[in-house]
Amino acid sequence: MGNGSNSFKSEGNFASPPCMAAEVDPGYFDPLAIDPEQARDVARWRTAERKRLREARRTLASPQRKAISEALMAGLARLLAAHSAGTGGGVVAFYWPIKDEPDLRSLMAEMQASGRRIALPLVETRSAPLVFRLWTPETRMERGYWNIPVPPRDAQEVIPDVVLAPLMGWDSEGYRLGYGGGYFDRTLAALSPQPFSIGVGLASAQLPTIYPQPHDIPMDAILTERGTEVGG
Ligand SMILES: Nc1nc2c(c(=O)[nH]1)N(C=O)[C@@H](CNc1ccc(C(=O)N[C@@H](CCC(=O)O)C(=O)O)cc1)CN2
Ligand SMILES: Nc1ncnc2c1ncn2[C@@H]1O[C@H](COP(=O)(O)OP(=O)(O)OP(=O)(O)O)[C@@H](O)[C@H]1O
């Protein structure tokens, strides 16, 4: 140390200080800067939480699961009726349940029968925003990415006014933990105008925080079997 302009070289094998550190005011702290180490820790924690929450959901008894789905459908019907995007001629994007997700398909069919347009999400390009295509009871579902049943390519593509996002975990700020693909975040970031987003999952999947990262977009509402928990 202390050898003038070469002082950084003496610290290690680097020819220059990291990230132009010498030019940055040492008092400056960028609150939006991503700390890669912290981002890695959060990703690791999320993977473990997804596993735990997935297991808790899997071990629910079937009557309990059914009661939860019924309560969610009642809550969703109420939430949609109270919200302008949920009434009228708008498109509501549901999801086709996989991996023990709550099954809202009877409400989906009921709403379709009463004249509402219903869409389902598709991963048509990996690591890109989801695409939404119209669904009716006559739609011949195909196996899509991750084996998720999806409408075929000839089903009309639409922009939803309301998006239901199934979740593994949620927090009181409206942030949601999904399967880890980042698909809903990418989709909400890309859609304009923004749809009304509703995270759907179990009350017991509440977390003190999901440690939101810069790419995480909070839901407008979180719905569980207890009712609307956040927003609405
Ligand atoms: N029923 C339903 N349909 C849905 C969703 C959903 O959550 N539920 N999606 C909601 O987004 C989209 C599909 N989402 C997916 C999200 C992640 C992975 C995936 O490959 N996950 C990796 C883990 C990645 C990681 O941990 O970094 C894996 O499990 O191997 C697949 C599909 C669209 N359709
Ligand atoms: N808008 C975006 N643009 C690019 N990459 C994104 C965007 N949003 C999320 N990602 C990437 O997706 C990865 C997974 O994100 P995250 O852990 O939030 O998934 P998730 O919300 O649980 O998944 P999903 O929405 O598919 O259920 C992140 O590592 C992130 O880099």
Q: How confident is the model at residue 36 (pLDDT cuts 50, 70, 90)?
A: confident
Ligand with an atom nearest the CA of residue 128? 2
Report if pTM > 0.90.
no
Find out whether the beta carbon of 186 lies less than 6 Å from any atom of ligand 2: yes
User: Is residue 157 a contact partner of residue 132, using CB atoms and an 8 Å limit?
Assistant: yes
- Nearest protein CA to atom 20 of ligand 1, as residue: 181
Domains of the chain: 8-58 (no CATH), 62-230 (3.40.50.10420)
What token pair was written down for 83?
A: 């919200």
For residue range 169-220, list pLDDT tens digits in order. 999 999 999 999 999 999 999 999 899 999 999 999 999 999 999 999 999 9
User: Is residue 124 a contact partner of residue 131, using CB atoms and an 8 Å limit?
Assistant: yes
Q: Is 42 helix (H, G, I), strand (E, B) or coil?
A: helix
Find out whether the beta carbon of 40 lies less than 6 Å from any atom of ligand 2: no
DSSP-assigned letter for residue 153: T
Higher per-residue confidence, 89 vs 177: 177
Query: Does pLDDT of 23 surpass 60?
Result: no
Q: What ipTM was predicted for this assembly?
A: 0.92
For residue range 106-157, list pLDDT tens digits in order. 999 999 999 999 999 999 999 999 999 999 999 999 999 999 999 999 999 9
- Nearest protein CA to atom 16 of ligand 1, as residue: 181
User: How far is residue 157's CA from residue 178's CA, in Å, rounded to a whole number?
Assistant: 23
Packed helices 105-113 and 62-82: angle between N→C axes, nearest 10 degrees: 40
- Nearest protein CA to atom 3 of ligand 1, as residue: 95
> H or E element: which one contains 227?
strand 227-231
Ligand with an atom nearest the CA of residue 216? 2
